[in-house]
Amino acid sequence: MSIGVSAITTRSRLGRLRLLQAVFIVAAFLSSANMGSGNFLPQDGTAAKSPQQVDKSEQSANANASSYTNEPLKQVIKNVPELREIRPAADQQQLAMILNKTGAEVDDFFKNVVDLVSQEEIQQERLGSFGISEVKKRMRDSYLILRRGNGARADFDEFRMDEQGNRMDEVSSHRGFLVTSGFALICVHFSTAFQWDSRFRYLGDQKIGGRDTYVVAFAQLPDEASLSVTMSGPRGTIAHILTQGIAWVDKENFHILRMRTDLLTRQPEIGLDRQTTKVIFSEVQLADVPTPLWLPRDVNVYVKLNKSLDRPEEQFRNVHHYTEYRQYRVSTRIVAPQ
Give the model confidence (pLDDT) of 237-273 as tens digits.
777 789 999 999 999 999 999 999 999 998 887 788 8
Range of 13-17, 34-38, 87-91 with top mean pLDDT? 87-91
Question: What is the per-residue pLDDT for 185?
Answer: 87
Residue type at position 101? K
Residues in the chain: 338
Model pLDDT for residues 172-230, shown as the tens digit of each residue: 445 667 777 778 889 999 999 999 999 999 999 999 999 999 999 999 998 888 877 76
In whole angstroms, what is the distance from residue 123 CA to residue 278 CA?
15
Q: Which of 173, 183, 166 is nearest to 22 (CA)?
A: 183
Kindly tell me if the per-residue pLDDT of 331 is higher than 60.
Answer: no
Query: How many other C-beta atoms are found inside a 10 Å radius of the C-beta of residue 79?
Result: 13
The DSSP H or E segment spanning 34 is strand 34-35
Q: Is 198 exposed, middle or buried (0-12, 13-18, 19+ CB in 10 A)?
A: buried
Q: Are 157 and 165 in contact (CB under 8 A)?
A: no
Is residue 43 predicted with pLDDT exceeding 50?
no
| Number of helical H runs and strand E runs in the chain | 3, 19
pLDDT tens digits, residue range 10-26?
333 333 333 333 333 33
Confidence of residue 158 (pLDDT cuts 50, 70, 90): confident
Q: What is the pTM of this model?
A: 0.79
What local confidence, expressed as pLDDT, does residue 101 receive? 98
Q: How far apart are CA 259 and CA 174, in angstroms?
A: 26
In contact, 1 and 271? CB cutoff 8 Å: yes
Question: What average pLDDT does the segment 89-104 reach?
Answer: 98
**pLDDT over 80 at 315, yes or no:** yes
- What is the average pLDDT score of the chain? 76
Per-residue pLDDT at 54 exceeds 50? no
Start-to-end CA span in the chain (Å)? 48
**Segment among 62-76, 147-161, 171-185, 190-204 with least mean pLDDT:** 171-185
Q: Could you tell me which residue, 309 or 163, shows the higher pLDDT?
A: 163
Ranges 34-38, 91-95, 199-203, 304-308: which has the least confidence: 34-38
> Sheet harboring 238-241: ordered strands across?
34-35, 229-232, 238-241
